[in-house]
């Protein structure tokens, strides 16, 4: 059968552009013994993928030219010659930006719980939710009464991280772009929100909402953001380095650094980065906890689902301008 896929056409040096991606139509052979053919129904659009498009090694090897863009997927098994999968099964996998995939089943999971929308398994129950869960609870370790600041707070990682800190009894302040996103964070229970696009001086605006300082900074944005918050970190504060979206498109030589490092000594601070997969063995515990909280209506989420496989590149580029409002997914026709 014929299927379409997006591959990397050229390494990305700064801002991604549609020409960095090439749409190909390829022929898939019929599944062999032990293989399945899957039609991808939902395909994720992830800011973290940006690091793999530059041709340099970051925490993951770079994608080569001509390789399919990586992404999480939810799909339906169309043909199965695999003992563990049946036709019609819905599966979570990492098949990337392609309409169909042939697989030997490695890394493919049947969707375990029909009570939740399937797309959530690559959203709040997928890597974004797991990043929030382990980053906030294991590294941030929020304690009741503390102040937690979350940046890119209206994204799937940030919104989940903030709600988990609220659940732990913290006062939670978010930073997001635009009134709509800030209003939504208020509805989720964030105690205060800064619209960084409207604040004349973001450091001053954050400090005004965190009068007693910040115990946990859960940062998705990058160096300039961390540098702004360092002077108001409280003793023994924790900085969770989750992502650096403001820095991803800036070549290393042009990036701003972190200068307010004296705060690490005076305030005995800890700053730690992590990759969600570090906690892979503990994912089942998080799925149970997050899934139960979603079902009980105690944890809210927002999805931004767009129809049309061919919209993948624009959807990805849009992340860097804040065009998404919630977990960005493409639904194939
Ligand atoms: N460590 C890990 O294992 C791991 C795993 C997954 C994701 N992550 C990271 O977690 C972060 C959040 O991911 P997500 O999936 O939830 O996506 P997300 O927060 O929805 O990312 C897109 C959002 O980033 C904000 N943004 C874009 N450019 C910005 C800039 N220059 N300054 C400030 N904000 C900017 C925009 O929101 P506004 O409209 O509010 O500006 C945009 O909607 C990303 O940095 C990602 O790389 C880390």
Q: How confident is the model over 128-140, as pLDDT tens digits?
A: 999 999 999 999 9
Please report which confidence band the pLDDT of residue 61 belongs to, taking 50, 70 and 90 as the band edges: confident
- Is residue 333 predicted with pLDDT exceeding 80? no
Region 310-324 average pLDDT? 98
Phi and psi at residue 300, to the nearest 5°: -100, 155
Q: How far does residue 132's CA lie from ligand 1's centre (Å)?
A: 12
Residue 58 has what pLDDT?
A: 79
Q: Is the CB of 220 under 6 A from ligand 1?
A: yes
Q: β-pairing, 90-93 with 73-80?
A: antiparallel
Query: For tokens 């979603």, what's the residue?
Result: 294
Q: Is the CB of 94 under 6 A from ligand 1?
A: no
Q: Determine what percent of the chain falls in helix, strand and coil, rounding each to the nearest 5.
A: 30, 25, 40
Q: Is the CB of 182 under 6 A from ligand 1?
A: no
Residue 162 to residue 132: CA distance in whole angstroms = 8
- Is residue 16 predicted with pLDDT exceeding 80? yes
Please report which confidence band the pLDDT of residue 252 belongs to, taking 50, 70 and 90 as the band edges: confident
Residue 250 has what pLDDT?
A: 94
Looking from the CA of 107 toward its CB, the CA atoms found within 13 Å total 13
Mutate to test the pocket of ligand 1, among 245, 275, 320 (most ligand atoms within 8 A of CB): 245
Residue 112 has what pLDDT?
A: 81
- Is residue 72 predicted with pLDDT exceeding 90? yes
Residue 166 has what pLDDT?
A: 98
Residue 21 has what pLDDT?
A: 98
Average pLDDT, the chain: 97
Nearest CA to ligand 1 atom 37: 322
Please report which confidence band the pLDDT of residue 60 belongs to, taking 50, 70 and 90 as the band edges: confident
Q: Is the CB of 128 under 6 A from ligand 1?
A: yes
Residue 257 has what pLDDT?
A: 94
Nearest CA to ligand 1 atom 2: 275
Residue ranges of E strands in the chain: 2-8, 21-27, 36-44, 73-80, 90-93, 100-103, 109-110, 147-151, 171-176, 192-195, 214-219, 233-241, 270-273, 303-307, 327-331
Nearest CA to ligand 1 atom 19: 155
Residue 24 has what pLDDT?
A: 98
Mutate to test the pocket of ligand 1, among 52, 149, 155, 303 (most ligand atoms within 8 A of CB): 155
Q: Is the CB of 48 under 6 A from ligand 1?
A: yes
Residue 223 to residue 106: CA distance in whole angstroms = 37
Residue 111 has what pLDDT?
A: 94
Region 91-120 average pLDDT? 95
73 vs 251: which has the higher pLDDT: 73
- Is residue 312 predicted with pLDDT exceeding 90? yes
Residue 296 to residue 164: CA distance in whole angstroms = 14
CB 140 within 8 A of CB 121: no
Per-residue pLDDT tens over the stretch 185-201: 999 999 999 999 999 99
Residue 64 to residue 8: CA distance in whole angstroms = 7
Q: Is the CB of 123 under 6 A from ligand 1?
A: no
Token pair listed for 106: 């490695």
Q: Is the CB of 320 under 6 A from ligand 1?
A: yes
């Amino acid at each position: 059968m014929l299927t379409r896929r997006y591959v990397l056409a050229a390494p990305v040096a700064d801002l991604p552009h549609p020409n960095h991606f090439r749409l190909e139509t390829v022929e898939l052979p019929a599944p062999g013994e032990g293989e399945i053919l899957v039609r991808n129904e939902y395909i994720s659009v992830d800011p973290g993928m940006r690091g793999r498009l530059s041709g340099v090694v970051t925490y993951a090897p770079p994608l080569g030219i001509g390789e399919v863009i990586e992404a999480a997927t939810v799909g339906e098994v169309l043909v199965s010659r695999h003992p563990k999968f049946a036709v019609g099964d819905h599966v979570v996998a990492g098949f990337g930006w392609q309409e169909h995939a042939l697989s030997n089943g490695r890394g493919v999971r049947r969707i375990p719980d029909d009570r939740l929308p399937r797309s959530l398994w690559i959203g709040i129950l997928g890597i974004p939710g797991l990043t929030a869960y382990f980053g906030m609870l294991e590294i941030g370790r929020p304690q009741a009464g503390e102040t937690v600041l979350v940046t890119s707070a209206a994204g799937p990682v940030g919104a989940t991280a903030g709600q988990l800190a609220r659940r732990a009894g913290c006062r939670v302040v978010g930073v997001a772009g635009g009134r709509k996103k800030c209003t939504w964070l208020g509805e989720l229970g964030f105690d205060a929100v800064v619209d960084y696009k409207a604040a004349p001086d973001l450091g001053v605006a954050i400090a005004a909402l965190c009068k007693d300082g910040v115990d946990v900074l859960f940062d998705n944005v990058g160096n300039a953001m961390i540098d702004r918050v360092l002077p108001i970190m409280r003793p023994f504060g924790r900085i969770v380095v989750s992502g650096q979206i403001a820095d991803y498109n800036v070549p290393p030589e042009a990036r701003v650094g972190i200068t307010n490092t004296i705060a690490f000594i005076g305030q005995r601070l800890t700053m730690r980065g992590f990759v969600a997969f570090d906690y892979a063995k503990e994912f089942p515990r998080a799925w149970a906890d997050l899934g139960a909280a979603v079902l009980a209506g105690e944890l809210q989420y927002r999805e931004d689902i767009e129809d049309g496989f061919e919209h993948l590149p624009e959807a990805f580029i849009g992340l860097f301008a804040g065009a998404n409002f919630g977990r960005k997914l493409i639904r194939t026709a």
